[in-house]
Amino acid sequence: MKYDAQKFLVIKNEEIASGIFDMWVENRDISALAKPGQFAHILVPGKTLRRPISICDADKSCLRLVYQVKGEGTEILSKIKKGEKIDILAPLGRGFDIKKNKKYCFIGGGIGVPPMLYASKQTEKPVVITGFRNKDLVILQGDFRRDNCELYLTTDDGTLGRKAFVTDVLKEKLNEIDEVCACGPIPMLRAISQMCNENDIPCQISLEERMGCGIGACLVCACEVRRNDGTKDYVHVCKDGPVFDSKEVVF
Amino acid sequence: MADLSVNVAGVHFNSPLIAASGTFGFGHEYSEFFKLSELGGISCKGITLKKRLGNPPPRIAETPSGIINAVGLQNPGVDHFIEKDLPWLKEQGTVIIANIAGNTSEEYAMMADKLSETDVDMIELNISCPNVKSGGVQFGTSCESVGAITGLVRKHCTKPLVVKLSPNVTDIAEIAKSAEAAGADAISMINTLTGMRIDIETQRPIIRNNTGGLSGPAVFPVAVRMVWQVANAINIPIIGMGGISKWQDAVEMLMAGAAALQIGTCMFTDPYAPVKINAGISEYMDRKGIKSVSEITGSVSPW
């Protein structure tokens, strides 16, 4: 089994920052299959389309999904209570390719921070750079710290941590790291990707797109890539991604 | 368990449920959930003579009880389909329908020639795609053009020929009659209804193509009405589709006049929908003492 749609028991679904929820769901068949960077496609009662949410963390029995309320679907999701069951299709997509014995730098911006937690747990003493707009949106700092990461916190307005962009921190760390994994807003990913290219550091980025089936059948979540021979192509975030080599993505 | 098999234009289907083109790729992804032989058939992703990249994203937006999409016929081209996808599909124990779309009449004819020499079971003529600039729906919105393209492809097609109709027309029954007169073996209907969503914060359409095709439960009653009207106008079978999401919808569409059904959007919500719909139709037939799905087809008693 690669993936399946099954019922999950909601263990927890609590607001951890302004409009951001931390949901833990239990299903032993599926949770153990999840790899860092993959996502879960959640059925929201009354909605035609499922909501793709990145996997923040996973163990043998649970998936942890940290999501932001952005519209009607995630609003409904945020009202689901502990003890209820929800239908989740998971684990989906191609996640991060994390090798042993390499020094990684994991970078998350805003709601792109959650998938970095599970990813950072796969390596020894990684550098983790997290960036947020302001102090009200800061999440998961305690979790990263517990996992023995070299953690950096930045905010755009300096209301918590360092007043800087994640790329300001990355610049200072470039000569210490072998590879970058990043998730966040497109301008941030573009800047990180450029900096990595200039310094010849491999960079994997996780992308978002409006999605349909979630498994690669309907072809709606297209991402433009440049092939080695220079030709343009559209691949799909749900199946070919969400994680891509930043060099092939056309921003 | 009731016998769910149906016959459309001489082709035997194990179940009246066929995966609708564009929602099911070439079958691989959904084979993780159920045996593809649970389906009566698969109408493959629309193919064109050459590979097509499709439209830039976003390609989808949600609507009340549905979705709008504008993929723009992204596909690997007919030769790739025949060489790489068809052999595996033919091993799945289900009817394989090739859905073809051309920029020109000649392209439709060339694809019909190529596919007629393969193991494809049926050819579905896509003259109703709302999301491409040339080809697609431009062939499907007047009786003359539908008659002409159907007649041309008929000459090049040795397989049973299904013509897929657009609902974005004034009188779909007249269009269906033109397809029948030009040699179609069956009609499939309805393709999506054109629609649009606008992001009120950015003042931009959500879909990059500006407009797209509406599908899902939102279009179901429109589809039922159109299938009923066309069933009363022609003598060839209809493959009914448009917003079927549960077994009750399937029975209703059959009653309106469909001989078989296509489903698509409902599988995005629940990938197991085909299995559940099959089971529901079967229980209904047992409960009503119905021996064959064909007894339900067109059984509505209008006032």
How many helices (H) and strands (E) are present in chain A, helices listed first? 6, 16
Enumerate the residues of chain B whose CB falls inside 8 A of the CB of residue A1: 32
User: Which residue of chain A has the CA closest to B243?
Assistant: A48
Question: What pLDDT does residue A147 have?
Answer: 75
Question: What pLDDT does residue B129 have?
Answer: 76
Tell me whether residues B53 and A217 touch, CB distance under 8 A.
Answer: no
- Comparing A227 with B138, the larger pLDDT belongs to A227
Tell me whether residues B23 and A210 touch, CB distance under 8 A.
Answer: no
Interface test with B, best of A70, A218, A235 (most B CBs within 10 A): A218
Q: Please give, rounded to a whole number of angstroms, the shortest distance from the CA of B13 to a CA of chain A.
A: 22
Tell me whether residues B60 and A224 touch, CB distance under 8 A.
Answer: no
Is the CB of residue A220 less than 8 Å away from at least one CB of chain B?
yes
Find how far residue B127's CA is from the centre of its chain.
11
Q: Please give, rounded to a whole number of angstroms, the shortest distance from the CA of A71 to a CA of chain B.
A: 11
Alpha-carbon gap, residue A77 to B252, rounded angstroms = 32
Domain ranges (residues) in chain B: 6-295
Q: Interior CA angle at B143 toward B138 and B149, to 5°?
A: 60
Number of A:B CB contacts under 8 A? Answer: 103
Q: What percent of chain A has pLDDT over 90?
A: 94
Question: What pLDDT does residue B137 have?
Answer: 74
Best CA proximity match to A55, nearest among A68, A71, A36: A36
Domain ranges (residues) in chain A: 4-92, 96-205, 207-251
Q: Is residue B262 a contact partner of residue B273, using CB atoms and an 8 Å limit?
A: no
Question: What pLDDT does residue B130 have?
Answer: 72
* pLDDT < 50 stretches in chain B: none
Tell me, which fold does domain A96-205 have in CATH?
Answer: Rossmann fold (3.40.50)
Is the CB of residue B30 less than 8 Å away from at least one CB of chain A?
yes
User: Hey, what long-range contacts does A153-161 have (CB within 8 A, 24 or more apart)?
Assistant: A154/A129, A154/A130, A155/A131, A156/A131, A156/A132, A157/A133, A159/A134, A159/A135, A160/A132, A160/A134, A160/A135
The SS3 of residue A155 is: strand
Q: Is residue B157 a contact partner of residue B117, using CB atoms and an 8 Å limit?
A: no
Take residue A164 and report the two structure tokens written for it. Answer: 């800087």
Question: What pLDDT does residue B152 have?
Answer: 96
Alpha-carbon gap, residue A189 to A181, rounded angstroms = 10
- How many Cα atoms within 13 Å fall on the side-chain side of residue B285? 24
Is the CB of residue B58 less than 8 Å away from at least one CB of chain A?
yes
Take residue B78 and report the two structure tokens written for it. Answer: 């007919």
pLDDT tens digits for range A69-116: 999 999 999 999 999 999 999 999 999 999 988 999 999 999 999 999
User: Is the torsion defined by CA of B123, B128, B129, B134 positive or negative?
Assistant: positive
Cis peptide upstream of residue B190 (ω within 30 degrees of 0): yes
Supply the CATH classification number for the domain A207-251: 2.10.240.10
- For residue B267, give the nearest of A47, A213, A233 by CB distance: A213
ipTM greater than 0.85: yes
Tell me whether residues B59 and A220 touch, CB distance under 8 A.
Answer: yes
Question: What pLDDT does residue A157 have?
Answer: 96
Residue that the structure tokens 């940290």 belong to: A66
| Helix or strand holding residue B26 (H, E) | none
What integer best gives the mean pLDDT of chain A? 96
Tell me whether residues B32 and A1 touch, CB distance under 8 A.
Answer: yes
Take residue B266 and report the two structure tokens written for it. Answer: 């409902």
B243-to-B65, B70, B73, B169, B274 alpha-carbon distances in Å: 9, 17, 20, 18, 13
Interface test with A, best of B28, B62, B75, B207 (most A CBs within 10 A): B62
- For residue A2, give the nearest of B32, B57, B265 by CB distance: B32
Residues 32-51 of A with CB under 8 A from B: 43, 47-50
Take residue B220 and report the two structure tokens written for it. Answer: 């179901």
Q: Report the DSSP beta bridge partners of residue B189.
A: B240
Q: Is residue A76 a contact partner of residue A43, using CB atoms and an 8 Å limit?
A: no
CATH class of B6-295: alpha beta
Phi first, then psi, for residue A171 (nearest 5°) are -55, -40
| Helix or strand holding residue B254 (H, E) | helix B247-256
Question: What pLDDT does residue B135 have?
Answer: 61
Find how far residue B199's CA is from the centre of its chain.
29
Candidate CATH numbers 1.10.10.10, 2.40.30.10, 1.20.5.510, 3.90.1150.10; the one for domain A4-92: 2.40.30.10
B10-to-A40, A205, B126, B233 alpha-carbon distances in Å: 42, 51, 20, 21
Give catalytic status of residue B129 as yes or no.
Answer: yes
Residue that the structure tokens 């962009």 belong to: A165
pLDDT tens digits for range B193-232: 999 999 999 999 999 999 999 999 999 999 999 999 999 9
Tell me whether residues B25 and A210 touch, CB distance under 8 A.
Answer: no
Find how far residue A221's CA is from the centre of its chain.
16
Burial of B235: CB neighbours in 10 Å, binned 0-12, 13-18, 19+: exposed
| Category of B183 on φ-ψ map: left (φ > 0), alpha (ψ -120 to 50) or beta | left
Q: Is residue A214 a contact partner of residue A92, using CB atoms and an 8 Å limit?
A: yes
